[in-house]
Structure 1
Amino acid sequence: MNGNSQTTTTTGRILASIERIGNKLPDPAVLFIALLFIVWILSLAFSLFDYNLIDPRSGETLVVVNQLSPGAITSFLSAMVDTFAHFHPIGVVLVAMLGIGVAEHTGFINSALRAMLGVTARWLLTPMVILVGIVSHTAADAGYVLVIPLGGIIFHAAGRHPLAGIAAAFAGVSGGYSANFIPSAIDPMLQGISQSGAQIIDASVVLNPLNNYFFTAASSLLIVAAGWLVTDRFVEPRLRTSPIDADVEAEKSLQTLQGRERRALRIALWAMLAAVVLLVISALPEGSAWRGPGGSLTEFGAPMMASIVPLIFLLFLLPGVVYGIAAGTVTSSRDIIEGMTKTMQTMAYYLVIMFFIAQFIYSFGESNLGILLALKGAAGLQALGLPAALTITGIVFLTGLLNLFVGSASAKWALLAPIFVPMLMELGISPDLTQAAYRVGDSTTNIITPLMPYFPLVVVYCQRYIRHAGIGTVTALMLPYTITFIVLWTLFLLAYWATGLPLGLQSSYVY
């Protein structure tokens, strides 16, 4: 018992040190300015060498591009506005927050949470939040702007530490990104890249878009259980020494809904349900405009998938307005615009950070440093010639490491699949398994890298409750999830493979 207590104390001290060091880093905006200059200097240094590597995107020799050359600098400056304006996370966050802001301002979210907490056991909040985070993957990036802040609100309203709710939701949304009961657009996207890699060896290979579905569905149970354990037994107890110092007392209200509130909530929920029913009816026909070229609602590029964020905006705006009118919190159109304005005011800091992140990611991508890192790492793993199980483990951990620097799941796999998939096929390992190993590594370190575009947004969510929260706070908060997930999920993958169970729907490849 003393040994366990001592280990817990030591781990807590390590995480506290990580938090202190992390929070001593410059402001996130300044940090990304520094990283931008570092990329420029490294690109100059590495552009002086030849690497004898082929860029899998173009088939040409890989060259590191000096970002301090006159041409690169003028391109950087001329593209600066478009780089920021077209940075994907910005539009996703702002559009969704407009609708959520109205629903919050009118009291709809507060009343809905109070009603939900009245019928949900306090001890079940953690697995519920993680599970909702996992399911949110179906809606692309919606979980970052919807589930994570609601995790903090739900925990705070239940008398629990809000940062534990944010951590649990972040773990489900991002740490368990490749675990889901429901197929999503990422499945066919990765399958297409894996198939191209496999056809380097055998042109007849055709992979099923759901070639990892059984494994990712089973992984959902693992992520919920592991995340529940880490949150309730480790993360939340540590947060007891972190008092809430922000003015969010209104969220603590757990009084029973009053008659008018209850009636308004009922009307708003019926309005929301009616909107969902109309959406489903419009999507069901085979010739529905919501379907993609392949006839699927969830395939990559399908209008349904591309419209997720606008749909979230509408599905919160509608009940928010209806609730406000019925409850008397909306007396004119100005109240609706006020709700949108207030939520945009809270996003000002986020926009500043996003400007510099967008410029950093642009320069990092243009320099080809990320591609060089990925190809060198993959070549090093290949040169080791490890047994199959250790190679699979190596892919998981190498991917997790690369994910700290290159965030996009599809971009990394486009670089690694042409190397890993053929290499493991020669060892008798299916492309399906190689892809599954990649997905485990790609998910587990999302939650500890500030280079992930939504990471600063999570910092902003935390600052709502603890003003001094920073990069170190979130990193220390999420590190236990990363360590637990990558170890348990890798062991789960190896055990799953050893049983001979299919990873997903059968592909046309014999192994």
Structure 2
Amino acid sequence: MENIQASPGSGNDGVAKSGWINRALNFIEVVGNRLPDPAVLFLLLMVVIWVLSWLLSGVSFDTLHPATGEAIQVNNLLSGSEMARFLSGMVTTFTGFAPLGVVLVAMLGVGVAEHSGFINAVLKKLLAVTPQMLLTPMLILVAIVSHTAVDAGYVLVIPLGGVIFYAAGRHPLAGIAAAFAGVSGGFSANFVPSAIDPLLQGFTQSAAQIVDPAVQLNPLNNWFFTSASCLVITLLGWWLTDKVIEPRLKNVAIDGDKEDMPAIHELGGRERKALYLSVAVMVAGIVGLVAWMLPETSALRDAEGQLASFTAPAMKSIVPLIFLMFIIPGVVFGYAAGTFNKSKDVIDAMSKTMGSMAYYIVMAFFCALFISEFARSGLGTLLSVEGGNLLAAMDLPGPVTLMGIILLVGFVNLFVGSASAKWALLAPIFVPMLMQIGFSPDLTQAAYRVGDSSTNIITPLMPYFPLVVVYCQRYVKGTGIGTLVSMMLPYSLVFLLCWSVFLVIYWSLGIPLGLQASYTYP
């Protein structure tokens, strides 16, 4: 790692600060990489959870669950019945691990598109029309917009970030970091409405109705704020990638296997024609899909005629649609360009892709078991509710309270990854509490979204974190948890601080948060 240092008394504060930052990040990387392999780490953490659940199961807590009103009880996972449940459910816990199916199905299609040369051809064209200085913000913006397609960013945009930077002669890990920051760190910054909007709004409205049963909230009650946040996250991510992250990676050798490392080659005449044909097929597919969605009676809509709800077949079909939107043009390109000559070539491309996912599958097994056991123990619920009660007892001024909520949510996010699960627990605490001091449910939800996004990228407990480690290892074999955490920590801290300040300024200027949204209650 590059370690810029300044001699005492040199007066070069900028360099000195850079040296201090680099030393701190390098320390985090070294310590983090001394941790066990991620799969072993999840196994050890699960054992810790078992022991803690046994020690605390006999303790009576006065903390009440916000949804049920009953005292929270820690379950002893080492009891005979709980261990029997763990063993009998081990297979279904693994196969039911949501990110596993999402990743594998999407990667089957992406793998065909990659090995046929279709992705390389598209990226070559993309690089030709994108100025070098705008490569970073373009990648971050695409990563942010990918939230609309649920988890597409994790399986598509993040690995492509490495490919794009590598093809442009820049360090691929910087591209992965920029894309990861946009996809996960800027999860709540998007100008395109997505299914997460009505999901969070539903929890917020239910919590608000504890105080006022007549409260009704618009699903896009934070849309204006999240749209404006898109610009903030893009600019912050751009500066961090080019000025902080990439300089640190300057002396990190790229030692991945050349055969497994994606590359972009010059387009020949046949490849150029194949690209135009495959893109035409993809566009035709998108047009056909839109035409299928448009009618109010479309089978892709839910019972109320909505496309963006979680019950709508369109939202449930995002991953299969990603699979089709890559495998079809990938196959067309392969046959047209001559990289595929028979059907077995397509199957071989899928097999190679699944071969590269073997390490992730092993990590996913232990990750799924740990997350399941942590949830069953009740420790996550206890941690979330106790933190919320502590903040309520402080009785801080409005802006300070708002910042405190953001920081608390960011901390809880290190242990409980699901945005909906956390808000289901915290909304009944925060929303009624802040309504009592004049904060609207819309503002409280906006604060939650800032905290929920900012620390996604530094917690190994985030289900897709091991997958990003695998992406990095394609280029730098020695990449570990510490490498990724130290690389993403500047994004997390800067996003958390600047985004929080941006919300307070946004609030003080009275700019609308979203549709039918307010800042005050009543």
Does TM, normalized by the shorter one, top 0.5?
Answer: yes
Question: Which of 168, 181, 197 pairs up with 1:171?
Answer: 181
Count of residue correspondences: 510
Paired residue for 2:484?
474
> C-alpha distance in 2, partners of 1:369/1:190?
23
Q: State the one-letter code of the partner of 1:373.
A: L
Instruction: Give the corresponding residue for 1:296.
Output: 306
- 2: distance between equivalents of 1:219 and 1:303? 29
Match 1:315 to one of 316, 322, 325? 325
Q: Does the aligned pair in 1 maintain the 2:165–2:171 contact within 8 Å?
A: yes
1:90 is aligned to 2:100: yes
- Distance in 1 of aligned mates of 2:335 and 2:263: 24
Which residue of 2 is the match for residue 149 of structure 1?
Answer: 159
CA distance in 2, matches of 1:259, 1:30: 49
1:335 aligns with 2:329: no
Offset, 1:415: 0.7
CA distance in 1 between counterparts of 2:27 and 2:492 reads 17
Deviation at 1:248, TM superposition (A): 3.4
In the alignment, what sits opposite 2:50? 40
Q: Which amino acid aligns with 2:298?
A: S
The answer (yes or no) to whether the contact 2:439–2:521 under 8 Å persists in 1 is no
**Match in the other structure for 1:79:** 89
Determine the structure 2 residue equivalent to 1:278.
288
Uncovered stretches (5+) of structure 1, i.e. residues with no partner: none
Aligned to 2:462: 452
Distance in 2 between residues matched to 1:210 and 1:36, nearest whole Å: 38
Deviations 1:428-487 (A, max 9, x none): 010000000010000000000000000000000000000000100100010000011000
Post-superposition Cα deviations, 1:407-446, rounded to whole Å, max 9, x if no partner, equal 0111111111111101100110100000000100000000
AA partner of residue 379 (structure 1): N
- Superposed displacement of residue 368, structure 1: 0.4
Query: How far apart, CA to CA, are the structure 2 residues paired with 1:457 and 1:121?
Result: 30
Whichever residue aligns with residue 163 of structure 1, its letter is: L
On the 8 A contact 2:181/2:457 being kept in 1, the answer is yes
The answer to whether 1:188 aligns with 2:205 is: no
Asked if 1:486 corresponds to 2:496, the answer is yes
Match of 1:443 among 453, 465, 470: 453
Corresponding residue number in structure 1 for 2:399: 389
**SS of equivalent residue, structure 1 residue 5:** helix
Aligned residue for 1:97, secondary structure, equals helix
Residues of 1 paired with 2:286 and 2:148: CA distance? 16
Q: Distance in 2 between matches of 1:326 and 1:264?
A: 5
Mapping of 1:211-226 within 5 angstroms? 211-226=221-236
| CA contact 2:209–2:215 (8 Å) conserved in 1 | yes
CA contact (8 A) 1:56 1:415 kept: yes
> Which string of whole-angstrom CA distances, capped at 9 and with x for unpartnered residues, describes residues 167-207 of structure 1?
00000000000000111111111101011111111110001
1:409 and 2:391 equivalent? no
Kept in 1, the 8 Å contact 2:112–2:349? The answer is yes
Match of 2:432 among 422, 425, 443: 422
Query: Which string of whole-angstrom CA distances, capped at 9 and with x for unpartnered residues, describes residues 117-145 of structure 1?
Result: 11111111100110011101011111100
Report the Cα offset of residue 510 of structure 1: 5.0
What aligned pairs does 1:352-367 form with structure 2 within 5 A after superposition? Answer: 352-367=362-377
**Aligned-partner Cα distance in 2 for 1:415–1:251:** 42
Q: Residue 139 of structure 1 aligns with which residue? A: 149
CA contact (8 A) 1:23 1:472 kept: yes
- Residues 507 and 219 of structure 1, relative CA distance in 2, 3 Å threshold: closer
**1:296 to partner: Cα distance:** 1.6
- Bigger drift between 111-120 and 97-106 goes to 111-120
Contact 2:33 2:483 in 1 (8 A): yes
Alpha-carbon separation, structure 1, partners of 2:375 and 2:64:
16
Quote the Cα distance in structure 2 between the aligned partners of 1:130 and 1:296: 29
Corresponding position of 1:100: 110
- Tell me the distance in 2 between the aligned counterparts of 1:439 and 1:8: 30
Answer yes or no: is the 8 Å Cα contact 1:158–1:254 preserved in 2: no
Alignment partners' CA distance in 2, 1:441 and 1:70: 38
- Preserved contact between residue 123 and residue 264 of structure 2 (Cα < 8 Å): no
Code of the residue aligned with 1:165 in structure 2: it is: G
Consecutive unaligned residues in structure 2, runs of 5 or more: 1-10
Aligned residue type for 1:329:
T
Write out per-residue CA displacement over residues 234-254 of structure 1, whole angstroms, 9 at most, x where no aligned residue: 100110010101133774545
Q: 1:276 corresponds to which letter in structure 2?
A: I
Alignment partner of 2:245 out of 220, 225, 235: 235
Q: Distance in 1 between matches of 2:463 and 2:521?
A: 39
1:128 has 2:141 as partner: no
- Are 1:465 and 2:475 counterparts? yes
SS in 2 for 1:234: helix
- What's the CA shift string for 1:371-409, capped at 9, x where partnerless? 000011001101111001100000000000000000011
Distance, in Å, in 2 between the alignment partners of 1:158 and 1:251 is 13
Corresponding residue for 2:3? Answer: none
Amino acid of the structure 1 residue aligned with 2:164? I
Name the aligned partner's letter for residue 480 of structure 1: P
**Which residue is equivalent to 1:50?**
60
129 and 415 in structure 1: CA distance in 2 versus 1, 3 angstrom threshold: same
| Residues in 2 aligned to 1:100 and 1:151: alpha-carbon distance in whole angstroms | 14
SS where residue 118 of structure 1 aligns?
Answer: helix
Deviation at 1:57, TM superposition (A): 3.5
Q: How far apart are residue 48 of structure 1 and its match? A: 1.7
Seq. identity, %: 60
Q: Is the 8 A contact 1:159 1:252 kept in 2?
A: no
Q: Match of 2:95, as an amino acid?
A: A
Aligned counterpart, 1:109:
119
CA distance in 1, matches of 2:365, 2:210: 40
Q: State the alpha-carbon separation in 2 of the partners of residues 293 and 158 from structure 1.
A: 47
Separation (CA, whole Å) in 1 of partners of 2:274 and 2:386: 60
For residue 507 of structure 1, report the CA deviation from its aligned partner: 4.5
CA distance in 2, matches of 1:116, 1:16: 34
SS at match of 1:269: helix
Contact map agreement 2:117 2:334 (CA 8 A) in 1: yes
Task: Write the distance in 2 (CA, Å) between the matches of 1:395 and 1:47.
Answer: 29
